[in-house]
Chains A and B, each alone.
Chain A
Amino acid sequence: MKKRSSSRFRAGAMLLVFFAAAFLLPASRDGNAKLYLLSAVVPGVMLLLLLLPSRFFPLDRPSLCSALSLCGFSLLTTAAYSPDETLSQGFRCIAALFFLAAGVVLIRAFRPSVPSAALPAFCGLGLLSCSILFHDLPFSFTEGGMALVLFSAAAFLSLRLRLPALLAVLGALLLLLLQRDYGSAAVWGISCVLLFWVASDSPLWSGILFCSVGSLLGIFIGISPFSADPAGLSPLSRIAAMPLIPPESLPESSPLLPAEDLFFMFGEQYGLIILFCAVLLVILFLIRGASLAQHARKAFHAALALGVVLLIGLRMLLFLSSSAGLSPFSPGSFPFLTSSLPDLFSHFFLAGLLSGISARNENDLEEDARLAMLAR
């Protein structure tokens, strides 16, 4: 146990030293006082966030570390172009941590029943229909809506109510297709088909969902096919132009940060090797989520953890495959490495759900140990 905690301490210390050095590198290159300040503030805040919230909430350290590291990467990207923008990105990340806590509290308080499972479905469908009803909204609540409907579908599946789960999933898919967000619709459809295959005992329901998702996607994409933007630089050519290691001078780029551009800007600044490390961090997050789903005692927790893993993993898969030119759809931003506030909120909410499930698993293990001692 002592050896395990010392290795954790070492990994945390290495992470903080890495971020301090990563901010010092551009600071010494440009001689910018704000970057020197950030090299002390960012690791300090990360240390506080790793130590303090776990006193009040049962947080899952590996998934929290992955999420915070990816946030640190987004801060590094903005710091090199505009140190002032880093401050607002830092506030976005800290605000998103409240949604992580909300996810933990929701898992602790939630008991699956028909009304409690139906409420998140209505909220999620309402968020998804916001983008259709109000065209001039500055934000897109797509990912938040998807997270809530996923929560509801996992609760219905654990109650063996497959028809309401199917209706909620298909309603969300229809709204995504009406928004013409085909990337998110594809991610959502594939995630739900796999979730139904895993969580429902009979293959009939997963077959029905598979046929419905396939026909809806086929009809909508056939009506209005995807057209690539010929004016923009293709993502593959941007990846091809990335150096392997951090370059001496910054590449010229726009100071405006579109949400999906943060991933490419990060690669252009710090090279392919560190970009690959960021992708590996998300894969570690997914493996951690899968392990939590494996060890969950209740079907609701297992289905929800798997749903979170599928939603984030398929989003990353489609993002990378659209960058490689394998898929015509882009599902928006890369997980956690984004400047979009609603996307960050939903990603941290999903990480919070995993943290809550981890805490429930630990409680179950402690209960098992207590019962085993009583039996002796």
Chain B
Amino acid sequence: MKTMHYRIRVVVLALVVSLFAVILWTIKSAWLSSGDYSVMPAETLSVSPPVEPDPWSSPAPDPGETVSSFPGETTAPAMEMSLPSPDPLFDTTGL
């Protein structure tokens, strides 16, 4: 009877542990298949570095269009930089 009680304890413990394992697995699988990761803490999210556009993989130009010989080079005229006009209230040139 003592051996029987010991075995009952082992069987029920294994059953309860496997039940909790399956519950956790179900929650994990359901959460992954729902695709909602908003509750995950920010530090556990894997942050991928920003992907810069590859200039060599630009789409093929139309026939007849002139393209620059180097990637990223633009043919547009350079923009002139203009400084903003000074505020008369803070004008200290007359001091």
Q: Show the binding face of A for B, using Cβ within 8 Å.
A: 194, 197-199, 201, 236-237, 239-242, 272, 276, 279, 283, 286-287, 290, 293-294, 299, 302, 306, 309-310, 313-314, 316-317, 320-321, 323-326
Contact = CB atoms under 8 A, between A and B. Distances in A.
A237 to B, nearest CB: 6
Interface residues of B, number: 23
Interface of A is mostly: helix
B25 A317 contact: no
25 contacts: A198-B11, A236-B29, A236-B30, A240-B34, A272-B27, A286-B12, A286-B15, A287-B12, A290-B8, A290-B12, A293-B12, A294-B5, A294-B9, A299-B4, A302-B8, A309-B15, A310-B15, A313-B12, A313-B19, A316-B19, A317-B15, A317-B19, A320-B22, A320-B23, A325-B29
Contacts of A240: 29-31, 33-34
A326 B33 contact: no
Given A198-B11, A302-B8, A324 B19 contact: no
B60 interface: no
A283 to B, nearest CB: 6
A153 to B, nearest CB: 15
B30 to A, nearest CB: 4
Contact of A326 (B9, B16, B22, B31): B22
Contact of A324 (B3, B7, B11, B29): B29
Contacts of A299: 1, 4
Given A199-B4, A276-B23, A324-B26, A306 B11 contact: yes
Contacts of A276: 23
A324 B4 contact: no
B8 A283 contact: no
A306 B8 contact: yes
Contact of B26 (A199, A286, A313, A323): A323
A198 B19 contact: no
Contacts of A306: 8, 11-12
Contacts of A325: 29
Contacts of B19: 283, 286, 313, 316-317, 320
Contact of A321 (B5, B7, B8, B22): B22
A293 B1 CA distance: 11
Contact of B7 (A198, A242, A286): A198
Given A240-B33, A290-B8, 7 more contacts: A239-B26, A240-B30, A272-B27, A294-B9, A310-B15, A320-B19, A326-B25
Nearest to A241: B34
A283 B13 CA distance: 11
Contacts of B33: 236-237, 240
Given A323-B26, A324-B26, A317 B18 contact: yes
B11 A194 contact: yes
B8 to A, nearest CB: 5
B3 to A, nearest CB: 8
Contacts of B5: 294, 302
